[in-house]
Amino acid sequence: MKKLALVLVLTAALIFAAAAFGAAPEEFSTAAGTLQIIPIQHASLIVKAAGKVLYLDPSQGSYDGLPQADYILITDIHGDHLTPAVIDKLKKAGTVIVGPKAVADKVPGTTVLPNGEKSTLGAFTVEAIAAYNLTRGPAAGQFYHDKGRGNGYVVTYGGKRFYFSGDTEGVPEMKALTHIDVAFVCMNLPYTMTPPEAAEAVRAFHPAIVYPYHSKGSDTTAFAKALEGSGIDVRLRDWYAK
């Protein structure tokens, strides 16, 4: 009964999230049961499965009424990915926070996961994927995101692989990904890449399903058009409804 009550509470909170942000849960069948992904805003989202709640980059948007986190993955140190006050609001005793070293320097207690390494969080396997700029930066010889500072993540649950790009251009590490079932890929200038550049990178690793996110100011329909005929299921959602 206690387990059922917990599930009902989590479900109610996540329904509230969907209502608050105009974004219905995206549901995916896996060998271990259903996994839900709920967009919050910009780069922030919730992953829910096996009665656990995982947040990615809790930062922008409102978190009133949302469940506390079992796990938190942080990709980068910029304010649209890392907001200490939001993390403090969501964490509880036993919450595991994972990020690259640059994040750990700002959030005490973070478990460091460098590019290319893996970790296990309950029923989730998490792999850190390099996320960085190849060409773009604030000045000549500088980049908005240096190689090794930030992580994208591949989260595996029930045999399905979910990729969250973080802030990056179409780097070789992204293009070399394999067997990705669902991808969330950034696109915004000047910090990451254009929709056509994102589409070119997505064609290289060919996920079954892709969602553009972290896309404020970008024409996501251009991204979808660039992937026509690829066999990739492009799903457009409004991450900025509220």
User: C-alpha distances in angstroms, 210 versus 80, 113, 160, 205?
Assistant: 21, 25, 14, 11
Task: Give the C-alpha separation, 126 to 151, whole Å.
Answer: 11
Written as six digits, the tokens of 178 are 């394999």
Q: What is the pLDDT along the chain (242 residues), one digit of tens a residue?
A: 544 444 444 555 544 444 444 467 899 999 999 999 999 988 899 999 999 999 999 987 888 889 999 999 999 998 678 899 999 999 999 999 999 999 999 999 999 999 999 999 999 999 999 999 999 999 988 999 999 999 999 999 999 999 999 999 999 999 999 999 999 999 999 999 999 999 999 999 999 999 999 988 889 999 999 999 999 999 999 888 75
Question: What CA–CA distance (Å, rounded) separates 57 from 136?
Answer: 22
Q: Do you know the residue count of the chain?
A: 242
Fold type of domain 2-16+24-234:
Metallo-beta-lactamase; Chain A (3.60.15)
Measure Cα distances from 50 to 157, 223, 230 in Å.
9, 33, 33
How far, rounded to the nearest angstrom, does the alpha carbon of residue 60 sit from its chain's CA centroid? 13
Q: What is the pLDDT of residue 242?
A: 57
* Single-letter amino acid code for the residue at 56: L
